[in-house]
Amino acid sequence: MNTADLGLPVTVPSTALFTDHYELTMLQAALRGGAADRRSVFEVFTRRLPEGRRYGVVAGTGRVLDAVENFRFDGRLLDFLREKDVVDGPTLDWLADYRFSGDIWGYPEGEVYFPGSPVMRVEGTFAECVLLETVILSILNHDSAIAAAASRMASAAGDRPLIEMGARRTHELAAVAASRAAYVGGFTSTSDLAAGFRYNIPTVGTSAHAFTLVHDSERDAFRAQVDSLGSGTTLLVDTYDVAEAVRTAVEVAGPSLGSVRIDSGDLLLVAHRVRQQLDELGATGTKITVTSDLDEYAIASLAAAPVDAYGVGTQLVTGSGHPTASMVYKLVARAGSTDAGAPLVPVAKRSSGGKTSIGGRKWAARRLDGDGVAEAEVIGTGPVPEELADRQLLVELVKGGEVTATAREPLDRLRARHAAARAGLPLSATQLSRGEPVIPTEYLHPGSGS
């Protein structure tokens, strides 16, 4: 199902202006100069992972498919471009009929990637592909950064569930995308109702400190919440005195109290004290949820604490210090002429400062060791070696402008794919200490052998 067709309030009517001015001026010049119809291949990749990260996580692919389908220039958008004198008349006429008619291949969403991995490959005419650069990068860079942070947090949390609760710390629409990416990366629920509505992610939530403060006493607040939501609710116990609040919570809800939430203080120490107190009061089944600006390091530090769930906000939706995946969208091959059968010619930028690229239309495969653990990301521009033929990573997402039947997948399948991909990496992938990518990237070119 294409969720963009549902007309939900968080869906924009067109993605055509989610682009940069120079993409349209390039189009105009290419149309006038004759290069617009040259068959071209663009690839999305990153030259390096964020410092200290051992792997990246592909997220946002499903949103890219929606964005490509909704990349349409209606009358209002064309009027805007005309009034602002962005492009000339012939270019406006061309844009009025724009429909992407090419092919898109990519790593399946939830898969891991490494420096140089061709996360997405867009093929078509230069004109139709170049327009998609910004919208594709904006989605993949944001969502992959969030998913990578979520994956590290999920790894640190182990079997304990993670709640995404960062909507108030980012742009309202970015919050919805962040919830989706976090779910792919291993989170189990979100506080954001728009994300639940848009993507059917489980939503959770009970009360904030304001609810306690508006009542004459903490007991009155707890009683009102339990009367409304039942004894299985989660009571926030750190508004005043934690020990007194826990005692009151059990008195009001009984030993069947579902959970208490701690949102401040020395979480390790407080969690141990609260667990002991709950057990002494007979509430041995009452769970403990902790929040308070957590990141993967704080979650790891609580591994030995009697904590049952984590709520994460700011650090998640900002990529835990790395809000972008630093992906780029580069032309790697183009036809020698506009003739339909003209062969592709590899092209690449040559510059200093670490911004060089490798030309050629690429394939990617992951080589495994004898135990089935990943040992290298292999990227090539020639024939795929026979031993890697069944380990190729790119899958077809769009063919002839149409999203393929298998390209859109349920989020639970993406979560499962990511969990499997992470489990297939060397154990050091989950270490939070600084380090290089957990497996190297190897390049094969025609004639280089395997």
Q: pLDDT truncated to tens, each residue of the chain (450 aa)? A: 444 444 444 455 689 999 999 999 999 999 999 999 999 999 999 999 998 899 999 999 999 999 999 999 999 999 999 999 999 999 999 999 999 999 999 999 999 999 999 999 999 999 999 999 999 999 999 999 999 999 999 999 999 999 999 999 999 999 999 999 999 999 999 999 999 999 999 999 999 999 999 999 999 999 999 999 999 999 999 999 999 999 999 999 999 999 999 999 999 999 999 999 999 999 999 999 999 999 999 999 999 999 999 999 999 999 999 999 999 999 999 998 888 888 999 998 876 666 677 899 999 999 999 999 999 999 999 899 999 999 999 999 999 999 999 999 999 999 999 999 999 999 999 999 888 999 999 999 765 443
DSSP string over 109-134: TT-EE-TT---EEEEEEHHHHHTTHH
Residues 6+ apart with CB under 8 A from 152: 53, 296, 320, 430, 432
Helix, strand, coil share (%) of the chain residues, nearest 5: 40, 20, 45
Note the CATH architecture for domain 3-131+326-444. Alpha-Beta Barrel (3.20)
- Distance of alpha carbon 8 from its chain centroid, rounded? 20
Residue type, 423: A
E-only strand ranges, 135-263: 162-164, 189-190, 234-236, 259-262
CA dist 211 and 171 (Å) reads 25
Q: Count Cα neighbours of 17 within 13 Å in the Cβ-side half-sphere.
A: 13
pLDDT value, residue 353: 63
CA dist 248 and 252 (Å) reads 6
Whether 132 contacts 65, CB under 8 Å = no
Whether 107 contacts 116, CB under 8 Å = no
Element (H, E) at 63: helix 61-69
Residue with tokens 């004459």: 216
Residues 6+ apart with CB under 8 A from 424: 368, 372, 373, 374
Whether 140 contacts 325, CB under 8 Å = yes
pLDDT value, residue 11: 52
Assigned token pair, 232: 């299985």
Beta bridge partners of 125: 39
Beta bridge partners of 260: 235, 288
Whether 67 contacts 133, CB under 8 Å = no
0.85 cut: is pTM over it?
Answer: yes
Whether 322 contacts 148, CB under 8 Å = yes
Coil vs helix vs strand at 161 = coil
User: What does the domain layout of the chain look like in residue ranges?
Assistant: 3-131+326-444, 157-321
Cβ burial of 383 (10 Å; 0-12, 13-18, 19+) is: exposed
Residues 6+ apart with CB under 8 A from 283: 250, 255, 256, 257
pLDDT digit string, tens, across residues 382-414: 899 999 999 999 999 999 999 999 999 999 999
Residues 6+ apart with CB under 8 A from 370: none
396-423 as b/e: b if 16+ CB within 10 A: ebbeeeebeeebbeebeebbebbbebbe
Assigned token pair, 314: 């700011």
What CATH code would you report for 157-321?
3.20.20.70
